């Protein structure tokens, strides 16, 4: 059992001739204006193109153009691992010439519990060790105000100055 060659039909030869003819036609189409000396500056109707010029308005001079940078790199590269902002220098607050590394004083706020007293929600709130029993709208400990008390969710919405925050019962917050 040998390998038998299949008889060829003429389709491969016809395709090859068509492709060569198509290539010759494309080359002639591209080269014909040069070979025949046809003016390629003409518009479709045969009239030549008018020369273009920039004309300044009569009452204003031409504006100066922007200078274009010929350098490829206009910005400096930076190391992505270097922080953009450094740490603030430590300050000497006690005057001994050594910078202090203490954290500024902060106030601890803790909601102990929120209870319903005769239909009015009341909260026991501890600020720096002093317990205040307050209701909605009450101001206490200088700059604190109770905005809302939720007995079921055991949460208090408090305001210190312009800052509003939510504290849950048993949660301590530094302000």
The structural domains of the chain, with segments of one domain joined by +, span 108-174
When pLDDT is cut at 50, 70 and 90, the band that residue 139 belongs to is very high
Percent of the chain scoring above 90 in pLDDT: 29
User: Which spans in the chain are helix H?
Assistant: 11-36
Q: Which residues of 68-90 are buried (b: 16+ CB within 10 A; e: fewer)?
A: eeeeeeeeeeeeeeeeeeeeeee
165 Cβ contact list (under 8 Å, min separation 6): 157, 158, 159, 173, 175
pTM of the model: 0.42
pLDDT over 60 (residue 2): no
Q: How many angstroms separate the CA atoms of 105 and 131, rounded?
A: 19
Specify the fold of 108-174.
SH3 type barrels. (2.30.30)
| Closest alpha carbon to 162 in 141, 143, 146, 149 | 143
Residues 11-52 pLDDT 10s: 888 898 999 999 998 888 887 766 666 655 554 555 666 666
pLDDT at 43: 47
């Amino acid at each position: 059992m040998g390998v038998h060659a299949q008889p060829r039909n003429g389709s491969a030869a016809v395709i090859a001739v068509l492709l060569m003819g198509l290539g010759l036609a494309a080359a002639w189409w591209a080269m014909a204006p040069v070979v025949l000396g046809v003016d390629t500056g003409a518009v479709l109707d045969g009239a030549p193109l008018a020369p273009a010029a920039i004309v300044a308005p009569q009452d204003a001079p031409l504006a100066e153009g922007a200078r274009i940078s010929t350098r490829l790199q206009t910005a400096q590269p930076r190391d992505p691992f270097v922080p953009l902002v450094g740490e603030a220098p430590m300050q000497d607050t006690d005057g001994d010439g050594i910078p202090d590394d203490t954290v500024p004083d902060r106030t601890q706020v803790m909601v102990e519990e929120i209870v319903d007293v005769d239909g009015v929600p009341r909260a026991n709130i501890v600020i720096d060790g002093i317990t205040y029993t307050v209701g909605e709208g009450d101001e206490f400990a200088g700059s604190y105000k109770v905005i809302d008390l939720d007995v079921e969710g055991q949460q208090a919405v408090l305001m210190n100055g312009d800052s509003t925050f939510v504290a849950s019962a048993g949660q301590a917050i530094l302000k």
